Chains A and B, each alone.
Chain A
């Protein structure tokens, strides 16, 4: 009997479980956003877009091009709460600056592969047409235009690194047969043409204005001028200077030279679309130095086309102010990347040597700087400049007395030079400090190795006590009108239209406080670009597209400007000497294309052949 009772209880419990188990749970999970939730409102779409914009390959303050030499890991496009290694920058590997890299460390990239982001854009493009009822046809079209622009931006980030990559325009089903998921590389030319057509869609579908940080039709046109110039140069110069291999033969790396003119024309036409819509910043025309400084700090600048913003509250602030100036001017941290004399001499040779070869004597450190172009003074902190009430007191050492020429002095072995150096600011010579609080000094890499510091983008208005890590919020200007003018000028010269180029270049030179040109060559246009866009993460890609990186960076050593005090004359001199670490930089030709990431090739062997040399 007992056992029967047990059996009855067991059966009833079991049947109770079985009966209730077949009721379907028909409640949508509240923690998963369905496409209706996202795409039926502007607010939903905006929040979806936020991720896509945040992940754009914008090489901003935080961009870290490699993990070598102790740089932040993972490398790439950072947007976290603690991104503070701004000195591991492209500039520090190309001779614009010398930085913590011990050599040409950034050439093979970091395996950028943004197909997850591209998938997000593809989802958007597939979904938006289903939501005309709630977003209106006009609203859907504007957003589609924005999506095409964003997709082009991602593919630009891929094409300039790898050349040809698979063009994925659909939302791939992860359950689909492997053969359809393992997509072959497209030819490099096809990728650039795809970028062009996407940006044309963006230009045609987007409105003329947008809130800061989002794209409008002119942002698409501006990006197109940049992208087409890249493609044109790959065709023109990459067809001459290249590493041969299967990927070249197959068209995955390289574009036929015959396509160059078409791309230059496309770059020129795209840049021309911005005529009269944007203008160069000229907020304080009577003080050209301050004016150029504010190009990068005044949020109301009519020059800004596309910016990336930062916020302390959202934990996206950057550390530019704290890591580009030495601790002397800040509340924390240190600097490790310094402009070179080689960059400064793009403006012409400094007046530091007399015609007889002897160093020019200056009464004080600041005297040299005051003779220079305002734009140069606003780009780089020279000895004698001031920030937050303190002076850049760069001094390499003291000469009790100095005779002879600068060249002879620099050529001497260090131990037969008569200067007094020091390893500490507390070391005195006849009661005078031997080295400056701001260097140059070799003991550590927290003080300048070149006699210069970066000034561009430095927020001089911030109080010293507030300049800390992750507290800088000045936006990164990803696209500004000056670059569009330079794109236009370069394309124009390449097309033989030097008069248009001259007009563009002189607009920039007048704003910079430089003497306008009466005629202009390709070399001058390129040099103007390198001056105007210094430290803006353009130069590395310019060297790559001009295919001159292997020439400019061929066992390259860079120079600094070392200020010395001459005790018995009470004067200052400046000597051009190797930067204090005297590092060597060599760009291997194969790095004109980065290697496709090994992990992606393992997932998809159809990505082979890899780029030549890898």
Chain B
């Protein structure tokens, strides 16, 4: 009887102590946020699937990325604190090759200033019936060594999240125009452009911007600001 009690007590001790260990590794509590600022002023306009913040924790080998939001800001609140090498990559700006090191804790903010390949200015959208006419000017802050300009196109979507990978094909890609010229060979008429988007649906609201795509490493595009267009019902 005593034996049995002893065995049971032994089992009880083992059972109670076996599961007491908890994961005492601190969870990711650091964050990293900031803005991509254009050297020509204002936020650097981006899109989905374009600019990312590349970061690699010092002492680790696998890099990770934070995608930028459409307004040029970025934020990740689930990072482990520590030293990181960081770099903005993948957008239509002159490559930043030197990583900088930041020490990430809760609420770390860092802004990156980038020089855009192209700046799209004076963007207007004029609706005539169901046909939208878009005009805009293209300028390059730095001309020497600029990648070839491939094409330009409108991006039309039903939400304000509009750009590459977030647009309606039938209104967007099909209304693009091929350029395939170096900026230095472009005459003034090439730089003041007009695109038309016909057959928009009456009674709907659309968000519109234009992009110019370059033949850089990422086939990336510079974007205009976003304009809201309300097509009246007929």
Interface residues of chain A, those whose CB is within 8 Å of chain B, are 242-244, 550, 554-555, 586, 588-590, 598, 601-602, 605, 608, 610, 612-614
Contact = CB atoms under 8 A, between A and B. Distances in A.
Most buried by B among A555, A590, A598, A601: A555
A614 B218 CA distance: 12
Given A244-B95, A555-B173, A612 B217 contact: yes
A613 B89 CA distance: 8
Contacts of B63: 610, 614
A589 B217 contact: yes
B179 to A, nearest CB: 14
A325 B134 CA distance: 48
Given A244-B95, A555-B173, A589 B62 contact: no
Interface of B: 61-63, 89, 95, 97, 150, 173, 217-219
B217 to A, nearest CB: 4
A605 B217 contact: no
Contact of B219 (A242, A588, A605): A588
B217 A244 contact: yes
A554 B180 CA distance: 13
Contacts of B62: 598, 601-602
Contacts of A555: 173
Contacts of A612: 217
Given A244-B95, A555-B173, A589 B61 contact: no
Most buried by A among B89, B173, B219: B219
A5 B230 CA distance: 106
A589 B95 CA distance: 15
A242 B95 CA distance: 14
Contacts of A602: 61-62
B218 A598 contact: no
B132 to A, nearest CB: 19
Contacts of A586: 219
Given A589-B219, A598-B62, A602-B61, 16 more contacts: A242-B217, A243-B218, A244-B95, A244-B97, A550-B219, A586-B219, A588-B218, A588-B219, A589-B217, A601-B62, A602-B62, A605-B61, A610-B63, A612-B217, A613-B217, A614-B63
B219 A554 contact: yes
A608 B219 contact: no
- 4 cross-chain pairs, A with B, having the tightest CB-CB distances, nearest first: A243-B217, A601-B61, A605-B61, A598-B62
Contacts of A243: 217-218
Contacts of A242: 217
Contacts of A554: 150, 219
Given A244-B95, A555-B173, A590 B61 contact: no
A508 B65 CA distance: 49
16 contacts: A244-B217, A550-B219, A554-B150, A555-B173, A586-B219, A588-B218, A588-B219, A590-B218, A598-B61, A598-B62, A601-B62, A602-B62, A605-B61, A610-B63, A613-B217, A613-B218
A567 to B, nearest CB: 31
A555 B61 CA distance: 33
B198 to A, nearest CB: 13
A608 B97 CA distance: 16
A610 B61 CA distance: 10
Contacts of B61: 598, 601-602, 605, 608
A586 B49 CA distance: 13
Nearest to B173: A555
Most buried by A among B61, B89, B173: B61
